[in-house]
Amino acid sequence: MNLRSIRIALAMLTILPFFILGCGNSQQQQGKQEDKTLSSKVAVHKITADETGTASSDVVCGMKVTVTNMTPAVEYDGKTYFFCSQHCRDTFAAHPDEYESGEEEESGHEHDNM
């Protein structure tokens, strides 16, 4: 290995940790910012082991949801609501009083099949 290759390798090893740490911090900040988008009446709900695998309905679009640790969920007025997507969660959080009865909205919306 020549001297130039060694210098390049050392420079990369010196810079690499900053990129790794910087990316992780960005994800943490994104999660904090996401939580702030919810209204003051609605709190983000962390899925428990007992809830995982249970069936629910998204009160915004009516879609059936099987709860996983990645399912968007909120607590509002002493009740937990599960959603098919972040979009439905945010829609609920913007106007939770419209969905509080737990009845599904008739109009719904389209979902892409992945």
State pLDDT tens for residues 41-68. 899 999 999 999 999 999 999 999 999 9
Distance CA 77, CA 97 (A): 10
Edge-first strand listing for the sheet containing 43-44: 43-44, 73-76, 79-82
Same domain, 24 and 43: no
Residue with tokens 């996983």: 68
Quick check: 110 pLDDT over 60? no
Same domain, 59 and 99: yes
Same domain, 60 and 49: yes
* Amino acid code (one letter) for 101: S
State pLDDT tens for residues 78-95. 999 999 999 999 999 999
Same domain, 68 and 49: yes
Domains of the chain: total? 2
Same domain, 68 and 79: yes
Same domain, 105 and 92: yes
Same domain, 44 and 27: no
Distance CA 70, CA 46 (A): 9
Contact (Cβ atoms closer than 8 angstroms) between residue 52 and residue 67: yes
Structural domain including 5 reads 1-36
Same domain, 53 and 19: no
